Amino acid sequence: MRMIDRDFTEIDLRVMYDRAKNYRQDYMAGRWVIETKHRRQNWEIIVEPDFDEQKVVIITAYKI
């Protein structure tokens, strides 16, 4: 639902993730912030590694 509210698709999110400019630790332990751009605006994607599945789980994404 938030993707609709924030006007992006799963494909947009994949492109944003692929075009990441920087990353840093989030204030919540174990989470990371991916800095990127979408439609010429700065965005952040919050991710959390899933070590058991060896994947990165996307928690949320938002314009800054």
* Token representation of residue 56: 């990165």
pLDDT digits (tens, 9 = 90+) for 10-64: 899 899 999 999 999 999 999 999 999 999 999 999 999 999 999 999 999 999 9
What pLDDT, on the 0 to 100 scale, is given for residue 9? 85
Torsion of CA 48, 58, 41, 63, to 10 degrees: -90
Structural domain spans, the chain: 2-63
Listed in sequence order, the residues at least 6 apart from 22 whose beta carbon sits closer than 8 Å to its beta carbon are 34, 35
User: Is the whole-model pTM more than 0.95?
Assistant: no
For residue 27, what pLDDT is reported?
93
Q: Order of strands across the sheet with 41-50?
A: 22-25, 32-38, 41-50, 55-63
Q: What is residue 3's predicted lDDT score, i.e. its pLDDT?
A: 67
* Residue-level pLDDT at 1: 59
